Amino acid sequence: MALTIASREVDGVTVLDLGGRITLGEGSVQLREAIRDLISKGSKSTLLNLSDVNYIDSSGLGELVSAYTTSKNQGASLKLLGLTKKVKDVLQLTKLYTVFDIYDDEASAIASYK
């Protein structure tokens, strides 16, 4: 159950639809490469759609944080959309819920970049 990543553009925002698990190894590496790729292409607005992510471990949390800080350092904005209960619980427990801009619905998330 590896991580799947699909990319699409909505009103100038790159939405990455993630599915599966963000964990040490494959999942974390895939996410890191996807973020690097976006930054190298000059993308300034990234929305990670986590609606289909059912598991994230400590390594995956670290990768989300790295994605956030890397984007910020490059003048880009990375936000989160659609947390499942399990992912939300872990983000709250680790206080990362306060770090990210998190949205429940895509329209509001996209509008927030304007």
User: Where do contacts with another protein occur on this chain (CB under 8 A)?
Assistant: 24-25, 55, 57-59, 61-63, 65-66, 68-69, 86, 90, 93-96, 99
Q: Which is nearer to another protein, 6 or 93 (CB)?
A: 93
Q: Give the nearest distance from C-beta 24 to another protein in angstroms.
A: 6
Q: What are phi and psi of 48, to 5 degrees?
A: -90, 110
Angle at 8 between CA 58 and CA 100, to 5 degrees: 35
Q: Which is nearer to another protein, 102 or 110 (CB)?
A: 102
The tokens describing 61, both together, are 């949390």
